[in-house]
Structure 1
Amino acid sequence: MTSYGRTSGGAVPPGADPYGADRRPVLVAVSGPPGAGETTLAHALAGALGWPAVCRDEIKERMAADAPARGPVGAPEPGGTLDPRTLDAFFRSIGGHLAAGRNLVAEAAFQDRLWRPGLQPLADLADIRVVRCVVDPELARRRIARRAADLPSRAVHADAELLRRIAVGERPIESWEPIALDLPCLVVDTTDGWRPALARIAAFAVEGG
C-alpha cells in the first residue's frame, strides 16, 4: 500500500470527472478508527468534489429509525441483525452507485476484515483509493464521549461499549487495523483540522496519487 503525505495540489472543480464517460468511476474509501472524524471528512470531500457520499453509521441510524418495532432507539435487536444488515446495505449502495457510473465517497470505521471482502469485488467496477484518517487516541476518546452525550441518534451504535473498552485499557483505537489492500492510500491526520488540507485530499481522490 502506498501512502502519500504531500500537502501540495490544486483545488478540484466541483463535480470534476477525472476520466470522462469512457472510463471507470472512482470510489474513495474513507476509513479510520472510531473518533477519527471520517464522517466529517467524507462529507466535506464529497461536497468539494460534487460526488455523493455513503456513510455506514448514517445507514444504520436510518434503519433503526425505520424499525419502530425494535423498541427504543439503541435497544438490542433480536438476533443482532442490524449490524449485518447495515453492512450489506452499505456495500450494496456503493455497488449501485458504481454500476451506474457515478464517482463516490464511502465512509466507515470498519477494520480491514470488513472492508476487504466488500471492496475486493468492487475493483471490477471502479478505481479505488483509500483515505485513512489517523488521530490522537485520547482526542478520539473525547470525541466519542461527546457525540454519545450530544447526539441521540448515536444510541444505536456501540459507543458506550467502546468507551468501556478504552476505560479498562483494551486500546481499541490504537489496535484498529487499516485497509491492507494494495491500493493508493493517503493518510490524513485529523487531530487538528486536516493534514494534508482538503484541496490535497480532493486532488488525491481525482488523481489517485
Structure 2
Amino acid sequence: MRSPLLLIISGPPGSGKTTLGRRLASELWLPFVYKDGIKERLFDTLGWRDRAWSQQLGIATYELLYYFLEVQLAAGCSQIIESNFAAEFATQRFLLLKEQYSFRPCQLMCRTQGEVLLARFKLRAEDGSRHPGHVDQLTYGELEAGLLKGRLEPLAIPGEVIEVDTTDFDSIDYGGLMQQIRALL
C-alpha cells in the first residue's frame, strides 16, 4: 500500500494558495486544512483586536494546523495543507513528521510577480473580503519587501516541488496540474 500523499501549498500572502487549495480539494476529494481558515475561527471565537493579538493567535493557529496534519497522517490519509510556510522555520517540523509518519510530500509553490502581489494584497486588505482580525492594513511596511519578491523558498524536504505561477489566475494550467498530482496519488 502506498503511503499517503501530503500536498503542501505554500507561497506569500495573497498568492492564491487558498483558492488553489479549495479547487484541488474539491476535484481530488481530499481534506483541506489551511492556516487562515483556522485563524479566522479563532478570531470568531476569541475575538480580534490588534496586530499583537493576531500574531499571538498565529502561533496557536500553526500548532492546530500541525495537530490536524498529524491526525490525518496517523490515519494514513492523503490531504492538502496550506500556509505561507517559511522554510527556515517549517522545514525542521516537516522532517520530524517524516520520521514519525510515512507520507509522500509534494510542495505546490505559488509565485506571483511582485508588483501584482503587492497590489493584490493591498486590495484584499481594503476591500472587506478578508477577515478584519488579520489587520492586514497594518502590515504593509512589514511585508512589502517579501511581497515584492513574489515567492517563498520551498521546504528542504524530500519530494516533488511544483511551481505554480498565480500572477494571472486565468492562465493557470489546472488540467496539467491535476494530471501531475493525480499521477502522485
Shorter chain as denominator, the TM-score bin is 0.7 to 0.9
**What letter matches 1:177 in structure 2?**
E
User: 1:110–1:161: structure 2 CA closer, same or farther, 3 Å change rule?
Assistant: farther
- TM-score with structure 1 length normalisation? 0.76
Post-superposition shift, 1:64?
Answer: 1.4
1:78-117 mapped onto 2 (5 Å cutoff): 81-117=56-92
In proportion to residue count, which structure has more helix? Answer: 2
Q: Does residue 63 in structure 1 map to residue 42 in structure 2? A: yes
Moved over 4 A (4+): 76-80
The alignment's C-alpha RMSD in Å is 2.5
Post-superposition CA distance 1:155-202 (Å, at most 9, x none): 222522432235xxx511217433232321100101112665122222
What CA distance in whole angstroms lies between the structure 2 residues aligned with 1:40 and 1:126?
Answer: 24
Post-superposition shift, 1:41?
Answer: 0.4
State the match for 1:172 in structure 2: 146
- TM-score with structure 2 length normalisation? 0.85
Sequence identity, in percent?
A: 27
State the match for 1:182 in structure 2: 158
What CA distance in whole angstroms lies between the structure 2 residues aligned with 1:98 and 1:86?
Answer: 18
Post-superposition CA distance 1:100-155 (Å, at most 9, x none): 12210111012112321332233233111000011011111122112212336532
Post-superposition CA distance 1:9-41 (Å, at most 9, x none): xxxxxxxxxxxxx32111100011112111100
Contact conserved, 2:10 with 2:84, CA < 8 A, in 1?
A: yes
The gaps in structure 2 that reach 5 residues or longer are: none
Pick 1 or 2: higher relative contact order, CA cutoff 8 A, min separation 6.
1
The gaps in structure 1 that reach 5 residues or longer are: 1-21
User: 1:164–1:84: structure 2 CA closer, same or farther, 3 Å change rule?
Assistant: same
Aligned residues: 181
Contact conserved, 1:45 with 1:201, CA < 8 A, in 2?
A: no
1:124-163 mapped onto 2 (5 Å cutoff): 124-151=101-128, 153-157=130-134, 159-163=136-140
Structure with bigger gyration radius: 1
